[in-house]
Amino acid sequence: MSRAGIRWRPLLCVLAVALGVAGCTSSSADGPTSSSSLTIASASVIDTSTASAPATASSPGEVSTPSVGDVPTASSAPPSALDPAAQEAVDRRLIESQWVAFWNVYDAIVRTPKDQRAAALAAVAVPPVSDNILEAADQADIDGIDNYGPVTHRLSWQFSIDGASTATIADCQDQSQAGTIKISTGEKGPPGQPRSNMRGLFNKGTDGVWRLSQLFFLEATC
């Protein structure tokens, strides 16, 4: 999502000068690093030419999108009841489910009643991600823009969680069927890339729920 007069691009980051909110970061193979040149916005605006730090992370393999019904809840087993390998598996599946849920919430955010948007985002994300998407959704209302099309997830793990309260998931997303659409005319913007190298930083809350706190776009091909 963007301000009037900005060329619409599919999926995730736009120059801070265009949207005017801070929070998006570029990343390197050694892990994410903050950058003031990009901004977390919504998944509807990404321009690969704005990523300044190339990465050499290994390409993630394509995996099936996790079924929410198959994912254990945070309270399904106390951490002390699981050995490290089992806890790692549980945490990964919970984060994978939340990552997919985040994109579903994002996709529908403009169609979600305004008074319900914050609650929908709070289930899957925390500031600055949630705040920036709410701001972008407000601007999309003004501009008459919505999202169209699904993204396909190819999830992988570059780093183990090891029982920590923060974790980073990798997703080589296929965004080639998704983009933005002008509601009044049905005119579609260009779709995204078939292999967008994404990372999501998650924090585990005191309620045991993993929520997205930062989004990263890696310049390297996945």
- Residues of the chain with pLDDT below 50 are 1-77, 79
Specify the CATH number of the domain 13-217. Answer: 3.10.450.50
Burial class (CB in 10 A: 0-12, 13-18, 19+), 85: exposed
Backbone angles phi, psi at 99, to 5 degrees: -60, -45
The pLDDT of residue 80 is 53
pTM above 0.85, yes or no: no
The pLDDT of residue 130 is 96
**DSSP letter, residue 189:** P
The pLDDT of residue 78 is 53
The Cα–Cα gap between 193 and 47 comes to 10
